[in-house]
Amino acid sequence: MNAPVGARGAEYEMVVERGKIAEFAAAMQSAHPAYRGPGAIVPPTFLTSSALWAPEGARVDVGFDRKRLLHGEQEYVFHGPPPRAGDVLTVADRIEDRYEKPGKRGGMMRFAVVVTEYRAQDGTLVAEGRSTLIETAPKGGAA
């Protein structure tokens, strides 16, 4: 709860699967041939599905009230061509930043930036996800 900047989640394995890529491509209404067949690569936002591979409790918990939680931004960075079907990635979260801003109607909004690292089997960082999470100010403006 309320894990500090620098806190890390547990590492877990994600296997990049051809069928999952095809399923994701269908959901994004993409007919791109790069997302079909044995050499399929992952679409730009596919790595969000790594959540399906995370064991209970592996991900970092920023401690925000779920009723006031918003997903403000999401970024994926690829340090080379996107991962492809058959790749086995080691995934781990870390908290990159936390900060507060005054809410429009009083109170404080809290922000947390969670980076999810995706590493190849030799340890090379191949991709990163960066989520900006927002906890809106409590109702009534009490801070």
Q: Which of 24, 64, 111, 118 binds another protein (CB under 8 A)?
A: 24
Among 5, 10, 15, 28, binds another protein (CB under 8 A): 28
C-alpha triplet 77, 110, 93: angle, nearest 5°: 35
d(CA 5, CA 17): 32
Tell whether residue 88 is a contact of another protein (CB under 8 A). no
Contact between 82 and another protein (CB under 8 A)? yes
Q: Does 9 bind another protein (CB under 8 A)?
A: no
Q: Which stretch binds another protein (CB under 8 A): 10-18, 38-46, 90-98, 106-114?
A: 38-46
CA angle 92, 94, 101 (to 5 degrees): 145
Q: How far apart are the first and last CA of the chain?
A: 19
Beta bridge partners of 101: 109
* Rounded distance between C-alpha atoms, residue 85 and residue 18, angstroms: 5
15: contact with another protein by CB under 8 A: no
Instruction: Name the residue nearer to another protein (CB basis): 18 or 20.
Output: 20
- Determine, following the binding rule CB under 8 A, whether residue 75 of this chain makes contact with another protein: yes
Place of tokens 């980076």: 115
Nearer to another protein, 4 or 79 (CB): 79
Measured from the Cβ of residue 121, the count of other Cβ atoms closer than 10 Å reads 10
Under the binding rule (CB under 8 A), the answer on residue 55 touching another protein is no
Q: Which stretch binds another protein (CB under 8 A): 9-17, 32-40, 116-124, 135-143?
A: 32-40
